């Protein structure tokens, strides 16, 4: 039997990892410039955390959670990062230590969705959460940060949609207005929407079913029913976005699929690259009630998460030349031991070097050096070692020099850097403190 990866879960092979790393580095850099610090939480949480925060009647909680029961415990693989961040914030009483916390995270999330391009069952999110800042300047900064990051990554055709769904009071009023609107046409709704009409009428606006879409067309807009405080927040957000010259459009129908949101909601989409229908790169919003609902103090919060797979589908495929490196070809057992030392010295100076430990003829080793893409090859022969020298071949220039063994590592590194100054970046260990 041949095993395959679980449906909707992907291997990321070494030849794709370079793009992932570039994306992750750009995200980290951008987050740190905005004052965010990294948070790492467990992959598993108590199921109840997600039910309480994301909402019992959401698709994520109703259909998509990977839940495992162990004895009396019910644990769930995190379907997103916000609930875990909020749980950690409350658990460690972070509000008592600092008035505002800015956290970011990167990692795998799990949702049992129907897999398609840009939608997977294990996928990677990078997210930012701000606790303790009531906004709306913070809201605008987050949106602007996303636009800046995506633009830097070369993603064009960006579309920023924003909306406000108000706070608890506005929502209660709107819920009543929606019920009044949908009730007379209840029979025309999908079965799923009919079942959720009383518990969550807002979600009908988010339904993909054509019957619900048709029924929603004339629904009252929440944005027209905001309370004075919600409206002041909304106006403040728009003024800040205008001041930052962040292009956006108001999308009154934007509701998003998680129940914890209050006031600001936003999504950033792109029509560039291979995205297709799953073109929402990032989504987020305010969730001012979550910290309190998880047993913490009344602390406002806002954040977003972006899907790394989708961003990679949208990012232009830039070919970057691989870093030049040195291949070491030892002829004979004594030479192999010396080759290990030479390779280690080259690496300590910050450049990559590979030792051929498979033995055999010089011709065979040179063929392998070429095949693996090495720029330089150091040949260590027993007779040369006896004379205290090595042969250095430049495989691109087809030239050869004899070097003193003692200075071989330094000279190899110097040549690699002359070929490409990035060569030293492979340093595996950060010695800046050393």
Per-residue contact track with ligand HAM, 105 to 144, x per CB under 6 A?
Answer: ------x-x----xxx--x-x-x-x---------------
Q: Which residue is nearest to ligand HAM (CB)?
A: 307
Beta bridge partners of 143: none
Among 305, 343, 403, 411, binds ligand HAM (CB under 6 A): 305
Q: Binding string to ligand HAM for residues 252 to 271, with x set by CB under 6 A, is what?
A: ------x-------------
Q: Which is nearer to ligand HAM, 115 or 332 (CB)?
A: 115
How many other C-beta atoms can be found within 10 angstroms of the C-beta atom of residue 179?
13
Residue 106 or 306: the one with the smaller Cβ distance to ligand HAM is 306
Binding residue (CB under 6 A) for ligand HAM from 304, 331, 353, 380: 304
CB of 269 to ligand HAM, least distance (A): 9
Shortest Cβ 70–ligand HAM spacing (Å): 25
**Angle made by CA atoms 423, 425, 427, in degrees to the nearest 5:** 110
Binding-site size for ligand HAM (CB under 6 A) equals 27
Kindly indicate which of the ranges 141-149, 187-195, 305-313, 333-341 contains the residues binding ligand HAM, using the contact rule CB under 6 A: 305-313
Q: Which of 135, 201, 283, 300 binds ligand HAM (CB under 6 A)?
A: 283
284 interacts with ligand HAM by CB under 6 A: yes
Q: By CB under 6 A, is residue 411 in contact with ligand HAM? A: no
Of 28-36, 154-162, 239-247, 280-288, the window that binds ligand HAM (rule: CB under 6 A) is: 280-288
Contact status: 356 vs ligand HAM (CB under 6 A): no
- Interatomic CA distance for residues 126 and 284, integer angstroms: 12
**Contact assessment for residue 332 and residue 386, using Cβ atoms and an 8 Å cutoff:** no
Burial of 295 (0-12, 13-18, 19+ CB in 10 A): exposed
* Listed residue (427, 388, 408, 391) closest to 341, CA to CA: 408
Which of 47, 280, 296, 385 binds ligand HAM (CB under 6 A)? It is 280
Give first-to-last CA distance, the chain, whole Å: 51
Joined tokens for residue 233: 């927040």
Contacting residues for 416 by C-beta, under 8 A, at least 6 apart: 324, 325, 326, 351, 375, 376, 423, 424
Among 136, 167, 273, 307, binds ligand HAM (CB under 6 A): 307
At residue 286, what are phi and psi to the nearest 5 degrees? -85, 145
Helix (H) or strand (E) holding 315: none
- By the rule CB under 6 A, 196 interacts with ligand HAM: no
Quick note: the x/- pattern for ligand HAM over 52-91, rule CB under 6 A, is: ----------------------------xxx---------
- Phi (first) and psi of residue 83, to 5 degrees: -60, -40
Q: Kind of pairing, strands 353-355 and 326-330?
A: parallel
Confirm or reject binding of residue 422 to ligand HAM (CB under 6 A).
no
* Nearer CB in complex with ligand HAM: 268/331: 268
What does 100-149 look like in DSSP terms, one character per residue?
-EEEEEEEEEE-----BTTB-SEEEEEEEEEES---SHHHHHHHHHHHHH
The residues with which 376 forms a beta bridge, in sequence order, are 326, 394
Say how far apart CA 234 and CA 135 lie, in whole Å.
Answer: 10
Q: Determine if 285 is a binding residue for ligand HAM (CB under 6 A).
A: yes
| Alpha helix ranges (H) inside 57-167 | 59-63, 82-91, 137-152
Binding residues for ligand HAM, rule: CB under 6 A, are 80-82, 111, 113, 118-120, 123, 125, 127, 129, 258, 280-285, 287, 303-307, 309-310
């Amino acid at each position: 039997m041949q095993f395959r990866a679980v449906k909707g879960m992907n291997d990321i092979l070494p030849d794709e990892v370079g793009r992932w790393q570039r994306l992750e580095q750009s995200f980290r850099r951008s987050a740190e410039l905005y004052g965010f610090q990294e948070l790492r939480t467990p992959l598993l949480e108590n199921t109840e955390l997600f039910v309480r925060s994301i909402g019992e009647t959401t698709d994520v909680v109703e259909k998509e959670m990977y839940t495992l029961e162990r004895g009396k415990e019910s644990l769930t693989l995190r379907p997103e990062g916000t609930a875990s961040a909020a749980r950690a914030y409350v658990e460690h009483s972070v509000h008592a230590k600092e008035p505002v916390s800015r956290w970011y995270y990167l990692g795998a999330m799990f949702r049992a969705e129907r897999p398609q391009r840009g939608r997977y069952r294990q996928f990677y999110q990078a997210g930012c959460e701000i606790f303790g800042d009531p906004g709306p300047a913070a809201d605008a900064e987050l949106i602007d940060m996303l636009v800046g990051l995506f633009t830097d990554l070369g993603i064009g055709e960006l579309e920023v949609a924003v909306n406000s769904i108000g706070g608890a009071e506005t929502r209660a009023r709107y819920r009543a207005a929606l019920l009044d609107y949908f009730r007379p046409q209840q029979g025309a709704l999908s079965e799923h929407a009919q079942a959720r009409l009383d518990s969550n009428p807002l979600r009908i606006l988010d339904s993909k079913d054509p019957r619900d879409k048709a029924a929603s067309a004339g629904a009252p807009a929440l944005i027209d029913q905001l309370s004075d405080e919600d409206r002041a927040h909304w106006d403040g957000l728009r003024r800040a976005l205008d001041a930052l010259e962040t292009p956006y459009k108001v999308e009154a129908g934007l509701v998003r699929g998680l129940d914890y949101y209050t006031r600001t909601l936003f999504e950033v989409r792109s029509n560039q690259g291979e995205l297709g229908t799953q073109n929402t790169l990032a989504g987020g919003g305010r969730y001012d009630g979550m910290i309190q609902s998880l047993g913490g103090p009344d602390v406002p919060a806002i954040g977003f998460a972006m899907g790394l797979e989708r961003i990679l589908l949208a990012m232009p495929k830039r070919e970057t030349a691989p870093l030049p490196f040195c291949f070491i070809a030892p002829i004979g057992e004594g030479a192999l031991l010396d080759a290990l030392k030479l390779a280690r010295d080259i690496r300590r100076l910050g450049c990559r070097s590979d030792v051929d430990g498979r033995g055999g003829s010089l011709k065979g080793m040179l063929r392998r050096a070429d095949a693996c893409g090495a720029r330089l090859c150091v040949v260590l022969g027993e007779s040369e070692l006896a004379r205290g020298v090595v042969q250095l071949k430049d495989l691109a220039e087809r030239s050869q020099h004899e070097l003193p063994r003692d200075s071989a590592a330094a000279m190899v590194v110097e040549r690699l850097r002359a070929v490409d100054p990035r060569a030293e970046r492979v340093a595996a260990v950060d010695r800046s403190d050393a």
